[in-house]
Amino acid sequence: MKTGVAYYPEHWDEWRWETDLQLMSKAGIGLVRLAEFAWSKLEPEEGRFEFEWLDRILALSHRFGIDVLLGTPTATPPAWLHAKHPDLYTVDEWGHTLGFGTRFQRCLNHPVMREHSRRITEAMARHFAGNPAVIGWQTDNEFTQNTCYCDGCAKAFQEWLKRKFGSLDALNSRWGTAFWSQTYTAWHQIPLPKQAKCGNAHNPSLLLEFRRFQSQATVEFQREQVRILRKHCPNNFITHNFMGLHNSMDYYDLAEDLDFVSWDNYPITQWDQDTSKASLAHDVMRGIKGRNFWVMEEQCGHGGWTVVGPRPKPGQVRAWAWQAVASGANTIVFFRWRSCLHGTEQFWHGVVGHDGIPRRRYREVAQFAGELAAMAEKLDESVVRNEVAILDDYEQHYAFQIQPQAEGLGVWEQVRRFHVSLRAMGVGVDVVPLDINLDRYRVVILPGWPIMTEEAAIRLRAYVANGGTLIVNPRTGLKNADNVCHEDVLPVFLGELLGVSVDDYDALADSCVPVISQNGEVFNASVWTDALLVDGAEILARYQDRCFSGEPAVTKNRHGRGVAYYFGTCGETPFYKSFLTEILAEAKVPMKQDLPEGVGMYWREGKNQRFLFLINEQSAPVDVPIDAGMTPLFGEVDGKTATLPAHGVALLAENG
């Protein structure tokens, strides 16, 4: 477990390097990430590699006992490469070529791009193999799907379709191209979903396949680098810096070739100040490979490119870093060491500022690094284990991105309603894919899952039959894997399991509908309402208004040794807390009902001991009642109460 920073020696005069490393060392920094944007410095002209400067900084780091993570620099191909191959640039959906001057400007499907990616990766891997400072690699930077509409992508997409569908007849039939006369009689007729008349209302089947294709393009681009790195540097780990709740591509696929996931955590930026998302993002990132992870870029100050984002409040940076550790992060790499003097990111503030003088941010990072170092031995092998899981699948994200259906149905929006409620009840959550063994979870939540295959349904039915508790949400079972509507009654493949069918539905836009529970509690339902026909299920709540007054909204059905709930609508936290309290109690999942609002509670399990992290996510102090049998490791804990100052943290160990 280490504290690290992203460092760009290529931005600074070499005489400064030692000062920087000394300052890092003094702050307890034990790792630097280097080189992930340095292609033009590493290969100033085609085929001429200059690695000496990097050798020197590696040696220096090693001298200070600071480990190094190297990045492959392919997120920013150099100017000479683009000048030689102008068609490497990505093309947007209007047909505009997006040219030089920023980053990620390359089409990942382009064979020349692929070749140069392999070339620079191989050169670096060969050169740095065995360097004692280097412990691992980061591929590229913040991969997303290959968002490109160039002619090369069009051809590659047509090839992809040919391989997948075999014949045009199969494609036409599965996509239903009879609709609007889109029947293709040659592969080359199939377009990319570029701008067209009628807005951009392409066939949803084509849109879904395009998302898969471009996600896979990124995965394959990375795979080529991973193969080379594994070959030459078999003792180094390989990771990539993911982006939390970003959902443009399939992160499960991307992670498959990696040793572990790391990610870039910016709880407050100019665009978003909802710090509650970080906790979900940690759970998502941990769930990708089902194991501990790193934070590869942890916010240490204001973000900002053209605008200066909000400044984290005193203590907040430390609290976020501890929240990451509490959620399963093993190493925290702050971004970046020093605010850049040049270029687009001048206002993305570093641990030290433009003037290089250690000030408030440095002191806070150093405090965290010291605390982590003190706890590292204890926490090192500990992991996060939960009894509640929320299922996730990027195909469902794509489906809702292609057809949002109603504002608020997006996968993360659905997931967050449950996650926020569970966290407030002191219940830890894993976010995991469907194809793992679900039996280790007492409760599994399926957010609206439009693309439902028979195979997925079989897994869900088996889980419940085997004693599990499943919660199903609206719009589940709507489509097949081609993004085509099933011809059956909703929720397709799960009707018998749930004991209900959907007779009608309504998208609520901005309005709300009251729903009343069995025991007379009334909640606001929003976003969507399914009007249910019950076939064996027990009715837990009914609509009170709009079209569906009196009709069932929430149901419960016993199936095998388990139980399956159908939530026909979406609600607010009280709605979920009320139903979840009953459901979790029945499923014997422990809750902490006296957890004060705004306090995050996280557990890590070591071999012999469990660790409890209490993190005050607010700017006011708060007292948290502590259960018996806990020993404080740090933080102000007095008998049965932990007193957390604003953004304060306490760590306790369960008496073993």
CA-CA distance, 454 to 415, in Å (whole number)? 23
The C-alpha angle 164, 453, 258, rounded to 5 degrees, equals 65
Please give the backbone phi and psi of residue 522, each rounded to the nearest 5 degrees, phi first: -115, 135
- Judged by CB under 8 A, the chain residues 520 through 559 that form the site for a second copy are 547
CB of 35 to a second copy, least distance (A): 10
CA-CA distance, 326 to 292, in Å (whole number)? 10
CB of 203 to a second copy, least distance (A): 5
Q: Which amino acid is at 239?
A: T
- For the chain, how long is the longest CA-to-CA vector? 76
Q: Which of 3, 61, 90, 138 binds a second copy (CB under 8 A)?
A: 90
Element spanning 532, H or E = strand 522-534
**The two three-digit tokens of residue 615, written as one number:** 């993190």
- Judged by CB under 8 A, the chain residues 193 through 222 that form the site for a second copy are 193-206
- Judged by CB under 8 A, the chain residues 250 through 309 that form the site for a second copy are 270, 302, 304-309
CA-CA distance, 655 to 648, in Å (whole number)? 23
CB of 646 to a second copy, least distance (A): 11
CB of 235 to a second copy, least distance (A): 28
Q: E strands, 10-51, where?
A: 31-34
DSSP class of 201: -
Rounded to 10°, the helix 151-165/204-232 angle is 100
Q: Which of 47, 163, 167, 188 binds a second copy (CB under 8 A)?
A: 188
- Interface region with a second copy, contact rule CB under 8 A, candidates 287-295, 501-509, 535-543, 562-570: 501-509
Is 142 assigned a catalytic role? Answer: yes
- Interface region with a second copy, contact rule CB under 8 A, candidates 90-98, 257-265, 516-524, 591-599: 90-98
Q: Which of 3, 61, 72, 76 binds a second copy (CB under 8 A)?
A: 76
DSSP class of 450: -
Q: Which of 139, 239, 327, 339 binds a second copy (CB under 8 A)?
A: 339
Does position 344 interact with a second copy (CB under 8 A)? The reply is yes
In three-state secondary structure terms, 383 is strand
CA-CA distance, 265 to 322, in Å (whole number)? 12
Does position 645 interact with a second copy (CB under 8 A)? The reply is no
Q: Which of 17, 25, 40, 436 binds a second copy (CB under 8 A)?
A: 40
- Pattern 563-602, binding to a second copy, x per CB under 8 A? ----------------------------------------
Please give the backbone phi and psi of residue 469, each rounded to the nearest 5 degrees, phi first: -110, 120
Q: Which of 102, 631, 641, 655 binds a second copy (CB under 8 A)?
A: 102
- State the number of binding residues for a second copy (CB under 8 A): 108
Does position 618 interact with a second copy (CB under 8 A)? The reply is no
Rounded to 10°, the helix 394-402/411-424 angle is 120
Does position 59 interact with a second copy (CB under 8 A)? The reply is no
Q: CA–CA distance from 350 to each of 4, 7, 211, 228, 273 (Å)? A: 12, 10, 35, 32, 19
Q: Which of 103, 155, 164, 231 binds a second copy (CB under 8 A)?
A: 103
* CA proximity to 421, closest of 593, 538, 563, 260: 593
Which residues have a Cβ under 8 Å from the Cβ of 152 and sit 6 or more positions away?
87, 107, 109, 110, 111
- Judged by CB under 8 A, the chain residues 471 through 490 that form the site for a second copy are 484-490
- Judged by CB under 8 A, the chain residues 10 through 29 that form the site for a second copy are 10-11
- Interface region with a second copy, contact rule CB under 8 A, candidates 241-249, 354-362, 465-473, 554-562: 354-362
- Judged by CB under 8 A, the chain residues 436 through 465 that form the site for a second copy are none
- Pair 640, 594: CB distance under 8 Å: no
Q: Which of 179, 536, 621, 656 binds a second copy (CB under 8 A)?
A: 179
- Judged by CB under 8 A, the chain residues 397 through 436 that form the site for a second copy are 402-407
* CA proximity to 395, closest of 482, 292, 467: 482
- Residue whose CB is less far from a second copy, 261 or 296: 296
Q: Which of 26, 360, 385, 440 binds a second copy (CB under 8 A)?
A: 360
- Interface region with a second copy, contact rule CB under 8 A, candidates 344-352, 440-448, 554-562, 632-640: 344-352
Does position 311 interact with a second copy (CB under 8 A)? The reply is yes
CA-CA distance, 288 to 378, in Å (whole number)? 25
Does position 340 interact with a second copy (CB under 8 A)? The reply is yes
Rounded to 10°, the helix 204-232/394-402 angle is 140
Does position 359 interact with a second copy (CB under 8 A)? The reply is yes
Is 209 assigned a catalytic role? Answer: no
Element spanning 106, H or E = none
Q: Which of 105, 158, 327, 330 binds a second copy (CB under 8 A)?
A: 105
**Which residues form the catalytic set?**
142, 297
